[in-house]
């Protein structure tokens, strides 16, 4: 309650108008504005809006943050796809080396040193199988993500006119006064 009374007293005692104070006589009027420090971000290479002229007329093309995000998304998906392909190829190579050294059927060997499966062959084959399976799953997921991101990027960039306009069979050309197919 005492805070409310103090707040009311402060409001009553405060002036109803505010005015600027005059500067001292003889002092020069210099602005005390500080120059802002340059930002750490690089300046954009292209402007946010661009005017483009085509046959239909003037249009505004924007380089939106969404397209920049999609470009980053495409780059990231390409990286994941290449990592998945590397995993798949490395796993296939490991499996090939391991299966070349595994003896599947006991051989009848009459000489004393009979070839046997090395101790490292089975773990390398299992590791290769895991890498091949993970690489294949990663290629599927990253490939789908890359395709979807590139499709959205093309749509935002306007590179695919079939997404924006319906195809027309014939239209009247005013300049030549005839039908154009």
Q: Can you tell me the distance from the alpha carbon of 74 to that of 67, in angstroms, rounded to the nearest whole number?
A: 10
Instruction: Name the more confident of 2 and 165.
Output: 2
More confident: 135 or 1: 135
pLDDT at 43 over 60: no
pTM of the model: 0.50
pLDDT of residue 163: 47
User: Of 149, 128, 135, 147, which Cα lies nearest the Cα of 83?
Assistant: 135
Query: Tens digits of per-residue pLDDT, 102-148?
Result: 876 666 666 666 667 788 988 999 999 999 999 999 999 999 999 99
Q: Tens digits of per-residue pLDDT, 7-40?
A: 665 655 665 555 555 555 555 555 555 655 655 6
Give the residue-averaged pLDDT of 149-154.
Answer: 90
pLDDT at 128: 96
Query: Greater confidence, 72 or 158?
Result: 72
State the CB neighbour count (10 A cutoff) for residue 142. 20
Per-residue pLDDT of 57-116, as tens digits, reads 555 555 577 888 888 999 999 999 999 999 999 999 999 999 888 876 666 666 666 667
Count CA atoms within 13 Å of residue 28 on its CB side: 3
Three-state SS annotation for the chain: CHHHHHHHHHHHHCCCCCCCCCCCCCCCCCCCCCCCCCCCCCCCCCCCEEEEEECCEEEEEECCHHHHHHHHHHHHHHHHHHHHHHHHHHHHHHHHHHHHHCCCCCCCCCCCCCCCCCCCHHHHHHHHHHHHHHHHHHHHHHHHHHHHHHHHHHHHHCCCHHHHCCCCCCEEECCCCEEEC
pLDDT band at 1 (very low <50, low <70, confident <90, very high): low
């Amino acid at each position: 309650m005492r805070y409310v009374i103090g707040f009311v007293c402060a409001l009553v005692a405060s002036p109803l108008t505010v005015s600027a104070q005059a500067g001292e006589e003889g002092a020069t009027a210099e602005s005390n504005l500080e120059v802002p420090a340059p930002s750490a971000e690089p300046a954009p290479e292209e402007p946010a809006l661009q005017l483009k002229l085509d046959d239909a007329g003037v249009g505004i093309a924007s380089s939106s943050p969404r397209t920049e995000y999609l470009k980053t998304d495409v780059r990231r998906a390409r990286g994941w796809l290449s990592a998945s392909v590397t995993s798949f190829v490395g796993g296939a190579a490991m499996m090939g080396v391991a299966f070349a050294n595994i003896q599947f059927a006991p051989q009848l060997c009459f000489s004393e040193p009979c070839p046997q499966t090395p101790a490292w062959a089975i773990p390398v084959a299992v590791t290769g199988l895991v890498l091949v399976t993970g690489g294949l799953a990663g290629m599927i997921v990253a490939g789908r993500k890359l395709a979807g991101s590139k499709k959205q990027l093309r749509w935002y960039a306007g590179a695919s006119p079939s997404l924006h306009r319906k195809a027309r069979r014939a239209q009247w050309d005013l300049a030549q006064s005839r039908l154009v197919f």
